[in-house]
């Protein structure tokens, strides 16, 4: 070795030592150790990831049967597939949120204190659910008293039927106005699918929801342990039942996703306030349990 080479590479002893160290070097052991080290690049990557997620929200954070921001939708659906995930008292639904829209944490929502309303969408800030339920129940009692009085009046049956229906219609309008005024404005499109297709349909809804393409959140019914349901319910929530433009937009997106067939079953939209007040199909006030349907809403784009 020339003197110039010696100055650059080191003398013979240094070269022998380096070659020996290279021969003894365990690449796998080094890589295993390296993976556990907080290198500057790894720290920077973690900070970037945290910054990217800092503007996202998840009212279902920490819930076992809900999508978490740390997992992909594909991982979530594989972890909790609705076709084979059993319903439990603690987890009667499987949830996904729209992380771009801020809502109250589910555990902090007033609807958790209302029997039958625990599993509606998390509330918006400023919602006064207690006032809506109290006022709504009073309005329904008033309608019931009028209907009972009307039925016992002995008047013409056609007149009685017309007045009773009008009493229910007027009560429904007042309740929706009350809910809107107190920011209890959430509602949902209700989609039914077969058990063999529920995983695929749910993944489509979950992806679109998490990508801010549908509403504020969605839920799907897991496998029941008490009945043999042939259909599964998926609810797609929107922020404001009175915002017909947004409600229609979500319906149109569901159609684009292939979840509404031209000649298939129509989807119906129900405001959450009806659930809180126990207004379901066949109620004594003859109030329609839904306020929109896709057949009529998608027929025209006029407001």
> For 51-96, what is each residue's pLDDT tens digit?
466 679 999 999 999 999 999 999 999 999 999 999 998 899 999 9
- State the pLDDT at residue 303: 44
Instruction: Tell me the backbone φ, ψ of residue 274, rounded to 5 degrees.
Output: -65, -40
- Cα–Cα distance, 243 to 274 (Å, whole number): 17
pLDDT at 47 over 90: no
Q: Which residues contact 230 (CB under 8 A, 6 or more apart)?
A: 194, 195
Distances (CA, A) of 135 to 30, 105, 117, 124, 279: 68, 25, 16, 19, 14
Instruction: Tell me if 204 is assigned to some domain.
Output: yes
| Range among 4-13, 48-57, 166-175 with highest mean pLDDT value | 166-175
pLDDT at 41 over 60: no
Mean pLDDT to the nearest integer, 133-160: 94
Query: Residue 137 belongs to what domain range?
Result: 129-181
Instruction: Tell me if 65 is assigned to some domain.
Output: no
Instruction: Tell me if 63 is assigned to some domain.
Output: no
Mean pLDDT to the nearest integer, 225-229: 80
Residues 160 and 17 in one domain: no
Residues 163 and 33 in one domain: no
The model's pTM is 0.80
- Cα–Cα distance, 299 to 36 (Å, whole number): 59
Contact of 209 with 257, CB cutoff 8 Å: no
Instruction: Tell me if 61 is assigned to some domain.
Output: no
pLDDT at 50 over 60: no
- Cα–Cα distance, 94 to 25 (Å, whole number): 50
Instruction: Tell me if 64 is assigned to some domain.
Output: no
pLDDT in tens, 203-219: 999 999 999 999 999 99
Instruction: Tell me if 57 is assigned to some domain.
Output: no
Cα four-point dihedral sign 178, 181, 186, 188: positive
Residues 26 and 170 in one domain: no
Contact of 291 with 154, CB cutoff 8 Å: no
Residues 206 and 281 in one domain: yes
Residues 162 and 293 in one domain: no
pLDDT in tens, 145-158: 999 999 998 889 99
């Amino acid at each position: 070795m020339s003197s110039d080479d010696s100055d650059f590479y080191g003398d013979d002893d240094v070269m022998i030592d380096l070659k020996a160290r290279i021969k003894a070097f365990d690449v796998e052991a080094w890589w295993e150790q390296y993976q556990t080290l907080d290198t500057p690049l790894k720290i920077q990557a973690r900070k970037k990831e945290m910054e990217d997620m800092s503007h996202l929200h998840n009212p279902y954070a920490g819930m076992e049967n809900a999508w978490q921001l740390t997992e992909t939708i594909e991982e979530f659906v594989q972890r909790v597939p609705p076709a084979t995930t059993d319903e439990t008292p603690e987890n009667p639904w499987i949830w996904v949120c729209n992380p771009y829209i801020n809502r109250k944490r589910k555990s902090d929502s007033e609807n958790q204190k209302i029997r039958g309303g625990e599993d509606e969408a998390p509330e918006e800030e400023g919602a006064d659910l207690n006032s809506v339920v109290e006022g709504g129940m009073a309005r329904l009692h008033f309608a019931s008293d009028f209907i009972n009085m009307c039925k016992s009046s002995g008047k013409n049956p056609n007149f009685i039927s017309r007045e009773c229906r009008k009493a229910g219609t007027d009560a429904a309008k007042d309740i929706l106005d009350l809910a809107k005024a107190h920011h209890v404005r959430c509602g949902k499109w209700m989609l039914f699918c077969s058990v063999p297709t529920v995983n695929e349909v749910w993944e489509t809804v979950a992806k679109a929801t998490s990508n801010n393409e549908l509403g504020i959140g969605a839920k799907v019914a897991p496998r029941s342990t008490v009945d043999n349901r042939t259909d599964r319910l998926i609810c797609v929530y929107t922020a404001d039942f009175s915002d017909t433009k947004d409600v229609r937009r979500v319906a149109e997106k569901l159609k684009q996703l292939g979840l509404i067939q031209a000649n298939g079953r129509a989807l119906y939209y129900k405001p959450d306030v009806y659930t809180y007040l126990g207004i379901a199909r066949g109620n004594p006030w003859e109030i329609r349990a839904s306020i929109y349907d896709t057949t009529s809403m998608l027929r025209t784009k006029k407001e």
